[in-house]
Each structure stands twice: as C-alpha cells, then as structure tokens.
Structure 1
Amino acid sequence: MGLTAIAIKKAGDGVLSDGKGLRLEKKGNGGKWIWRYSFAGKRREMGFGTWPTVGLADARNERDRWALILSQGKDPISERNSQKAAIRAELERKDPTLEELASEFFDVYKRSLRKDGASARWMSPLEKHIFPKIGRKPVSTITQRDVRDALKPIWESQHPTAEKAIQRLGKIFQDGRLRGYECDKFTIDAAQSMLGHAQHKTTSIEATPWEYIPELYAWLEGRGASASCLQFMILTLVRAGGCRQARFDEFTADIWTVPAEKMKGRLEEVMDFRVPLSPPALEIIKRRRELGGEWVFPGYRGTPLTDASLSKFLRDNGHEGKPHGFRTSFRTWVQDNDAAPYDVAETILSHKIGGKTERAYARSDLLDRRRPVMLKWARFVLGDKDWSKPMPNETSASSGGLPT
C-alpha cells in the first residue's frame, strides 16, 4: 500500500516505502526522496529532492517520468546528467563569461592582425588587468562600475595600457551584442566616462636630433651587424621590423621591395612597399651579401636581429635616441630645411595620406619623386653639406645598378 501525506507526517524517523522503488528517508521534520531501480544488472539510486519541499505527488510524478525512460532501455541517471549538461551549455552559450566572449571574438578578429595578434600582443592588456578581476563574470552581469573599478588603478599611472584595454573591451562588447549576447558597448563607454580625463602626458619616442645624424652614422661604421642595420635604417627610413628581417631576395637593382607582412598596419590594408636605395644603402647590401646567408642582418644565432638588440646597442654605447626615432630625425630635417613636399616626405615614411576615398584614387607610390629626396638625405647623412652636387655612384644607383 502506498504512502499518504498524513501518514508521512505521523511517521517517525526511518525509511518509508511508497512502492515501485520510491522511498522516503525521513529524519525529524525533513527527509529525502530516493528512487531505487536496476539498470544493466546494477542497483542504482536516484534522488528526487527533499521532503517536504518536494511533496508526495511530485515525487511520484518524477518516479513515473524516469521509469518511462528506463523502459526505453536508457539509464535515468545518465540521461538526467546529460540533460543538465545540455542546459548548462545552453546557458553558457547565451551568457558567456567575459573571458569566453573575448576569446570567441579574438578567434575571428586575429585573422586581420599580424601573426594572429601575437606581434602586438592584442590580448595582453586584458589578460593582465581585466580578466583577473572580472574575466569570470557572465557578460550580462558586468556593469560600468565593474569595468571602472578594474581599470581605475592604472588609469593614470599606465594610461596607454588602460586605453588599449578599454578600446578592446568596446570591440568585444559591440561584437557580443551583434552575436545576440546580453551585453552592450554602452557599458564600456559609460565606464570610460566614469573614469574621466587622465592627467597623462604622452612621451614621444626619443629621437636623435637631425643635426647629429651624420656624426652617429659615421660612428656606426664597421661596428658589426647591429651597427650596419642601424645605418641601413637611417638611410632607408624603414621601420626596424622590415630592416631587421630583410632578405637578399627582396632586392632588385636599386629597389628594395618590403613585403606587406613586414609593413605596419592591418593585413588587409597594407601592401608591398618599394624603397629607392641610395648608393650608400646599396653599398651596405653589397658588403652584407659577401658574408653569405639569406638574412641581410643576422644575429649570433643566424636569425634576424631583435628589436631589443638594436635599442640596447645604442643605449650601451651612450646614445639616447631610439632606432625608431631616426624617422622623426628625417621628418624634422625635411621640415627645417624644406627638403621635400609633404606628400613625398610622408610616403617615404609609408604614412597614409588623405582619406580612404582619396587613397582609392591616388594610388601612386611616388617612387620617382621619392628617389631624389632619398639621395639628398643620403648626402646629408654622409656629412656632405652641399646636397646639390652628385655623390659617388649616384648615377649608377639612379639607373638601377648595384655598386661594384
């Protein structure tokens, strides 16, 4: 005979059976429902919750529901675990944690970045300053105060890093909203507003004054691969990455074609960049080629020099300027001496000129207009104060011949 609600209340502590495997293990004013069944020759027990929160009628309904599953040859406990896992996965899909959403976004976004974002360490500001604090929170629960509190300690002291973090969070939240998740870029915008204006002064990269470039160039002569690479940077004005990783197969006559993947910018926006080489630049290539190998400026291990090694070389020898600062030295030299038109000088530095529409029509790389400016710069670098007269090998270089 089955149990009744009154009989359960009056019963003392112990195991009360309702039949068909349903039992109530009662103790004091509470108890727990257990359903005993056999599957694959083994006795199993399935819990249905606590009494009196789960009443007799509800416990019987659960027993009958899972008994039907058992009659279909399925293990009720395994089926219930699978259902719970599916529900959990669905909830997580609809409301991922911030770290999960960031990973989901970055898996797609990184395809437009160099080396899948490793070069610029795209995720670094988030991994260091955001994820440890709110990375495990579901995005639907993250408020502008959470973001503000995470960034507040570095908003003033490390503002460039904090700014990168908040800009990247904005991209992640905006993309999450488009994917149907309960998040909004407004949260990030509001956090930025709450953080307020940062009293941070941007520090420019240290650059060697253009007046001292000839002296530095002469001092670098004959001091090894790092020094030769720095000389080449001065003459070509290409960023360190392109110079350090230059290969001999990138040079044809007096033109160096820097591959797009070595140029700064998003992959879909950059293209190969042609650099007209002056006679002293060609002379460096000639001397380095005689040493053999595929890289123009290999380090001790035969691989390209590192960016840090170039900066360290200058620093260890008492030079305050940074390698990237050579580009500033050139640009200031142009301004102070009216040495080149604006568009030519900017193109030499591979800077974008004009808006997107303007660039779509103005497609010339101004190679022929850049060549005389590069020759003029080379004459200055070599210490020639009269830039108007030809320099050694200039004729052969401008006509496309390597110096012999």
Structure 2
Amino acid sequence: MARPKHKLTNAELKAKAPGKYSDGGGLWFHKRKDGGAQWVLRYTSFGRRHEMGLGSYPSVTLKTARQEAEKWQAVVRDGKDAIRERERQRRDAERNLHILRDIALDAFESRKAELKGDGKAGRWFSPLELHVLPKLGKMPVAQIDQRDIRDTLAPIWHEKADTARKALNRLSICMRHAAALGLDVDLQAVEKAKALLGQQRHQPQHIPSMPWQEVPAFYQSLTGGTVAELALRLLILTAGTRSKPIRFAHLDQIDGDVWTVPGPLMKNRKGREVDFRVPLSSEALAVIEQAKPFARDGFLFPGVRKGVISDMTLSNFMKRQGSPYRPHGFRASFRTWCDEAANAKFEVAQAAIAHVTDSAVVRTYRQTDFLEQRRALMERWASHLTSQPRLLEFPANA
C-alpha cells in the first residue's frame, strides 16, 4: 500500500511544536526549538539514505517544498543521486554566469605576452573598455548574442569604423577565450553581428605623407634648435624610425654611428621584441651632438618638466607650421624616394623602414639586416635632405 502524501496543511505548520513531521513522499518538516524551520527531503540512492535540504520555512512554502521534493525524487528514480545532481547543476549555472568584463580581463591577461610592452599602453583593451563593456560588461557571456553586439556597436560602426572593427575583433577573441574556459557561448555571434551591421561607409584615412621632393625644404626650415625641431630632424634623417623610438632615444643606445633601438620600443607583432639597428649618417650624428646639451637622464629629447617629449609634440609642431602632413608620413616619403630616385634594392629599402617582407623560414636562414647597404642609403638620403630644396608650399586649406 502506497504511503499517503500531503499529510501537512498550511494552517498547522506554524502551530507545530519542535520536532520532525512527515508530509509523505520523503518530504519532512523540521521545526526547531528556536522557532525556525526547514524542509528536508529523505531519499535512498545506491542503498544509502540521504537527507537533502530544500530551504527554510516560510521562505519556501509548503507548495514549493512539495514541488521541489517531487522534482528531486524524479531524479532519484532516474538512478542519480539528488544532492550530487543539484551540485552539478549549480556549478554549471555558476560557470555560465561569468560576466563579459571578467572574461575580457582574463583574455587580456592571457595575451599580454603577445602585446607590445605587455599591453601597458592600453591600446588592445581600450576598444572594449570604451565601447563594449559599458553596455555588455555585466552581462553573462553565455547570454550574449548577435543582437546585443549589433546594438552595442551600431552607434560607432560608420562614424568610428576603425575603432568599431577593433572592438569587434577583441570581442571575438573574448568569446573564443570563454569557449576555451568551457563556457557555453555562441562562437558565431560576432560574425552574425557583423552581418547585421552591414558594410561600413567610412573609408580609412591614411596618414598624409609629404612628397619626397619637398622634404629637403621642410628639413632645412627646422633651424630653431628646439628639442622638438631636433627630434623631428632626427626622425626624418633616420626614415624608418617611428616617433616613439625617437622620443625615447637614449645616449646609451648609440655606439659610434649605429643607434640600436630596444625591441620594446619597436612596433612588432606577436610579442616579438627585436632590437633594430639604425645606421646614422654624418648629418644624423651632427643632430645628436646638437641635442646632447638638452639631454636629461641620458634621454636626448626630454619633456619640459619630466620624462620625454609627448607623442603629440612633433605632430603639433607640424600643425603650427601649417603643414597638412604628419611625422609618421616621412616613412612613406623616404620609401617613395628609394623607388623613384635612389633605385634602392627592395629588401634594403624595406629593412630601412623596419618592415618584414619574408616568411619566418626565410628570415631564419637570412641572417642579415643589410646594415652596410643601409648605411650607404642613409648617407644618400641625408645628402638629398641637405641639397638645394624645392620651394615648400602647403595647400591653402591646410
């Protein structure tokens, strides 16, 4: 004969004296001496008796306790231990509640070794920090779908196209990172969001570069002898050097007519920090001599109060001169001069601007940075810069 169920009523629960009372079906009501009470489910699994707490009364009502008891008894009838199954479900739920911000920070931490300077500049993380995490950061990563991503990036998809693409790329990395952690995420959500966002209208603007024929006139106009002008002259003379190595140029890096730029200052991918040797022309060495009196703590181009000049110092100087061009563009000016006027070998010209052109296998066997050939090329470039210049004219709307 089956044991009767639902022995208890709501009316008598509060009046019960301390003790344990069966409601049937393995559900028990335990009234404590302090007046508190809780629900307990008794069941037998694999020949062993277990007691499973179902919550306190009255937070868990009689009706809810009966529903929970029936649910877990069904689990026992399926041959599973109810307590272990509940713990498994709880772990799965907690695992899938990881929010995007935590995943993004963990993904960033895992990739620091690949990033320049361990990502301290923040350029890898900033697209997420500024445009994704404010809206999706507190959302469980398992719940993020293509519509959430589309709605988040739509405001900048056309107006800030490059930033939006970077944010989408970083988000894709975060989703793959979450999947690697064992989280249940939609790995296609980013691609589907991209399809929903559509083609971007914005066309990327390349950094304007000064025609190589006009560079001598500009170079020869830098006669003020200020730190900014000297730094700009050295940047132009060394052609392949970006503004950061110039700003952080240190006397200890210079040995004779070779300036060795430390790997962390170079723009490298996949965490490769390789020192770059720069042959210094006679003109470049003369500029360095002029800069030495300004040196502070060994840095050739110190800032006004501390550190070195900022990354905008050189650009702002050119703006004040009315120039539509920017310092980074002198790399293109030099590279075009190599092709049109110097007839330089392709590999040597590329090496001069620190561009990698060969595969990793070829680079392994080609153990040269063309230093001697670049030394001759840089002397020719310096001669061009100090030759009779063409009249320098900037556009009227610059």
Normalising by structure 1, we get a TM-score of 0.77
The residue number in structure 2 matching 1:66 is none
Unpaired runs of 5+ residues, structure 1, are 23-32, 62-83, 386-404
Change in CA separation of 1:57 and 1:292 when aligned onto 2, cut-off 3 Å: closer
Counting aligned pairs with the same residue, the percent is 33
The residue number in structure 2 matching 1:26 is none
Structure 1 residue 269: deviation in Å? 1.9
* Contact 1:242/1:258, CA 8 A, preserved across alignment: yes
The residue number in structure 1 matching 2:369 is 365
* Contact 1:174/1:184, CA 8 A, preserved across alignment: no
TM superposition outliers: structure 1 runs of 4+ over 4 Å: 4-7, 43-46, 55-58, 84-90
Distance in 2 (alpha carbons) for counterparts of 1:57 and 1:267: 53
1:52 corresponds to 2:57? no
Q: Aligned ranges for residues 274-285 of structure 1 at < 5 Å?
A: 274-285=277-288
The residue number in structure 2 matching 1:200 is 202
Letter aligned with residue 248 of structure 1: L
Letter aligned with residue 97 of structure 1: I
Query: Match of 2:14, SS?
Result: strand
Change in CA separation of 1:56 and 1:91 when aligned onto 2, cut-off 3 Å: closer
Q: 2:384 aligns with which of 380, 385, 397?
A: 380
Q: Aligned ranges for residues 5-404 of structure 1 at < 5 Å?
A: 8=9, 11=11, 15-20=14-19, 35-37=31-33, 47-48=56-57, 49-55=60-66, 91-237=93-239, 238-266=241-269, 268-293=271-296, 294-384=298-388
* Contact 2:280/2:378, CA 8 A, preserved across alignment: yes
Distance in 1 (alpha carbons) for counterparts of 2:341 and 2:7: 103
Give CA deviations for 1:365-391 in whole Å, capped at 9, x if unaligned.
010111111111000111258xxxxxx
Distance in 2 (alpha carbons) for counterparts of 1:227 and 1:331: 22
Give CA deviations for 1:267-324 in whole Å, capped at 9, x if unaligned.
6323100010001100111222244431011121142111111111111222221111
Distance in 1 (alpha carbons) for counterparts of 2:8 and 2:104: 56
Structure 1 residue 173: deviation in Å? 1.5
Distance in 1 (alpha carbons) for counterparts of 2:288 and 2:202: 43
How many positions carry a matched residue from both structures?
347
Query: Match of 1:257, SS?
Result: strand
Distance in 1 (alpha carbons) for counterparts of 2:388 and 2:352: 21
Give CA deviations for 1:189-212 in whole Å, capped at 9, x if unaligned.
222223222122111102222222
Unpaired runs of 5+ residues, structure 2, are 22-28, 39-55, 73-85, 390-398
Change in CA separation of 1:87 and 1:284 when aligned onto 2, cut-off 3 Å: farther
Distance in 2 (alpha carbons) for counterparts of 1:119 and 1:235: 27
